[in-house]
Amino acid sequence: MPAALMARAGRLKCRCSTVYAAGLLRPRIHFAVRPLLRPLSSIAQNAPQKYVPSFENSISPRKTQYLTSSLSPQESIDPTVAADGGNSHDNLDEPRLRHHAARSDRNGRHEQQLPSNNHNHSRRKLKTKSHSPKQPSFIRKRRYTITYNRLYRSPAHKAQPTNRFSAVDKAASKPDEPSREASRELKNLREMHSQWGYVRHQHPESERQSARKEFRSWKTKFFKVSRPDKPEDPKLPWPWRDNAKWLFELNGVRNMHQAWKALEIEDRRKQWPLVMLSTLDRCPDKAHMVLEATLDPLPPGYAINDVLLFVAQRLRLSSIKNARERTLRAEEVLELVAKILEDAPTRHVPLGQRTAGLFARKLPSEQANELYSMLQRANIKLHPNTLLQFAGKLASDMAHKETAFAILKGLADSGIDLNAPSPSSAITTLLHCRIAHGSSSESNSSFSAKDTLEYFMDRGFVPNVINATAFLDSLCQQGEVEEGIRLALLFSESGVQLDTKAWSTIFRGAKGSLRVENVAKSLDVAKAANAPYVDVLNNALHAVFYFAEMESRVKRFAVPWVYPLFGPMLRAYAKKFELEPLQWWLPDSLPLMLTQTTGNDGEKFDSNDLRTWDFLETIVPLTEKSFSAPSNQPKLQPNTTTIAIMLRAYVKTLQNPYDLMAFYAFFKARLEEQGGKDGLATQLIEDQGSLIHDTIIMAMTERRGLSRPALQVFGDMLKDHLQRNAAEGTERSAAAPVHPPPGLCTFSILVRGLFNSGDRILAEQVIHVMKEQGVEPNLVTWNTLTKGYAAMQNINKTVSTLQDMEAAGFKPDLFTFKAFGKLKNQGRALEMMEGIIDVNRQKIAGEDLYE
């Protein structure tokens, strides 16, 4: 053998020994000859090899792989392509894996039998046997190769710890920016190869070269504009960045479509890619509008799918505060997808599982249900992960729980593991039935959470504490509190460790039933859940408060709603808690009040209006019994929840308006005494927010002549809120804000009180302030306004309020109809509403809609 060949063989032998010793390869070693290495990109070339993450399935055969040999088939909607919303995994199917494994064994045996004295022959044989499948030109023209060993090389291989059993430094294995850049590039190349494998069969051989050129051009530019770290001003200016400025600056899809139709059809076909790319770059929020306006002639299917994926990734409906605007945006996106699915030829658009999953997760339940129906009508097969996305979204709405149940039943019958995280999460959402307050539609639903749980348990589903809590909450909301308590104890005996949230759910349902027996039974659930003792005592105290408040409403007592609460609750409180933390907040002597056991516990709480209260004979004895449990432990320190409950009970027990104003002055002085520094006051406001302030405002607005003091309390909250916003980013001064900011509940309580006292102008000014502060009204606020105007017999304002409520995206409920019932001349109001509807219909009919 010549000396040069012997030297070369020696170097290869040393290289193999080194690689094998480092643990990078298995005993069977495959060489990747340099002329066969396929390039990737300059980005991956510059990235450190130890940070390049793997993209292959972990069960694929360990051998030197070329990039294209690990790429999956087309990313069209197909069950072999795994994707769930934004996280997709491309896996090789079983036959293909067996094919690769067999091919690897044949190559390995052949290489080991190559004669050492015929180097050229071995190179020729190696090239023949280990060549990857035919690749498109955009893969072959890269300058770098990613092999299996480089993809799986980790920081641990570079610097192994001296102790082989010690853990590798986690910081060393954390990918940095070059690693993420290379991973993105690999993902993009896989998608390109997958889509090209689908697109190439749509063109005859004569047009395939030009189609491949257009495909490469689109993909290269699309990856630039869709990057999350896209530069504002690229180093090499993109000449097409402003190509669509003349189009996306127009208002509405109709105007865009007319401007687009003004071009010749061939010009539209040539300009579409750059116009669409320019829109994605310069005005991404209008990408769905530009795509819908430029679908004539029909663009390439892969480009449509890319734009839909771009739209789905940047769909931020939660950032839109107005409910009506959120609904309109969702409808626009849904209309675009429907137009593409219905008008495009069959299989023209390879709609990806990732795209469908993102739309399912981000669209509201109503639009997600319509999208699912469209996909079903189009006979598009969805991957299980995508189906789970739809099931999870539809399960959150009572109106679509049956559809979600049908999806999950189909997955269960197909053999999916129901105890895996994703199916278990969807089942939890399905079992949780939220019944809206004042809604009448949910009561007619045939969905049964109990039957659903039994169905899945028959198919191997094992409930955990999260599933159990959701199911118990559904039973309590449906009025089956006793069944919920029984099943909670059964879950605990069966090994499901209930937590504090599960017990709080049961206690809330028992308290809402207004039955003392259920409250007593819920204490047994607290023992099974090992609930904190202070939390149990707090809930027992709040049960007294809740029973008194609901009794006033059921018996229709006239306002102000004053309850003889504080005396009984204080006697129970003193048995387990220290008095000093509560005494700091009250101007009265608590030990003196505890000695008064006659009447209503003091002159301050005396009332000339003698009422008979049932809660004093029902829930109060049970609470005193729960607080009288023998204990050798010292008295407990109350938390902020305990203090808030007792302060609210104190406010609700005050009879005279002067005493109410005096207490707020004392309470305000305590807050300002600490000046926003760490202490009892700051902790109370941070934990409880505006709860106590809202209780004081409600008590003031229930009494004649206290509307102005209520506005002063609101003014203190608003002033500190404005000061807090103005002082953001600056050091906290001695006069830091101490009052909580007014919330939606604060505005609603104040508006209702002002309307009840006849101060319509002040109420409207408060609404104006609420909008200035960016607080959007909810359905309760709209019902309050409707009831206020209807009680004043202001027909015009009542009708306009109902219109505004509908424009904001809210549907009327039972309380809306009750509020409208305050109007005496309801016929006149209905005539005005019908007239407005007719005018709107004429406007719509007069518009020229584009074809």
Q: Output the DSSP codes for 284-343.
A: GGGHHHHHHHT-SSPPPHHHHHHHHHHHHHT--GGG---HHHHHHHHHHHHHHHHHHHHH
Query: Which residue did the predictor score with more confidence, 765 or 128?
Result: 765
**pLDDT reported for residue 261:** 93
**pLDDT reported for residue 170:** 43
Mean pLDDT value across the chain: 78
pLDDT at residue 130 is higher than 70: no
Q: What is the pLDDT of residues 671-719, one digit of tens each?
A: 988 766 778 888 999 999 999 999 999 999 999 889 999 999 999 999 8
Q: How far apart are CA 299 and CA 268, in angstroms?
A: 10
**pLDDT reported for residue 738:** 84
**pLDDT reported for residue 840:** 66
pLDDT at residue 734 is higher than 90: no
Region 716-735: mean pLDDT is 71
Q: How far apart are CA 718 and CA 766, in angstroms?
A: 11
Q: Determine how β-strand 81-84 pairs with β-strand 87-90.
A: antiparallel
User: 265-282 vs 208-226: helix axis angle to the nearest 10?
Assistant: 20
pLDDT tier at 752, thresholds 50, 70, 90: very high
pLDDT tier at 138, thresholds 50, 70, 90: very low
- Helical segments of 154-300, H only: 155-158, 170-173, 177-199, 208-226, 245-248, 252-261, 265-282, 287-293
Are the C-beta atoms of residues 385 and 82 closer than 8 Å to each other?
A: yes
**pLDDT reported for residue 299:** 93
Q: Which segment of 602-616, 664-678, 835-849 scores lowest on mean pLDDT?
A: 835-849
pLDDT at residue 660 is higher than 80: yes
Query: Which residue did the predictor score with more confidence, 224 or 62?
Result: 224
Query: Which residue did the predictor score with more confidence, 223 or 88?
Result: 223
Pair of tokens at residue 587: 């101007």
pLDDT tier at 575, thresholds 50, 70, 90: very high
**pLDDT reported for residue 742:** 93
Residue with tokens 């499901």: 496
3-state secondary structure of 133: coil
Query: In angstroms, what CA-CA distances link 481 with 86, 129, 464, 484, 513?
Result: 40, 71, 20, 5, 7
pLDDT at residue 155 is higher than 60: no
Q: What is the pLDDT of residues 474-530, one digit of tens each?
A: 999 988 999 999 999 999 998 899 999 999 999 999 999 999 999 999 988 998 899
pTM (two decimals)? 0.73
The residues spanned by each domain of the chain are: 3-192
Q: How far apart are CA 521 and CA 483, in angstroms?
A: 11
Residue type, 569: M
Region 586-593: mean pLDDT is 91
**pLDDT reported for residue 636:** 93
Query: Which residue did the predictor score with more confidence, 260 or 41?
Result: 260
Query: In angstroms, what CA-CA distances link 256 with 247, 272, 561, 596?
Result: 6, 13, 60, 79
Query: In angstroms, what CA-CA distances link 471 with 393, 433, 486, 505, 507?
Result: 17, 8, 13, 10, 14
Region 55-62: mean pLDDT is 36
**pLDDT reported for residue 570:** 94
Region 619-624: mean pLDDT is 93
Q: What is the pLDDT of residues 776-823, one digit of tens each?
A: 888 999 999 999 999 989 999 999 999 888 888 888 888 899 888 888
pLDDT at residue 469 is higher than 80: yes
pLDDT tier at 45, thresholds 50, 70, 90: very low
**pLDDT reported for residue 439:** 54
3-state secondary structure of 83: strand
Q: How far apart are CA 40 and CA 42, in angstroms?
A: 7
Q: Which segment of 81-90, 168-177, 538-547, 791-800 scores lowest on mean pLDDT?
A: 81-90
Q: Which segment of 82-91, 384-393, 431-440, 662-671 scores lowest on mean pLDDT?
A: 82-91
Region 226-230: mean pLDDT is 81
**pLDDT reported for residue 633:** 78
pLDDT at residue 824 is higher than 50: yes
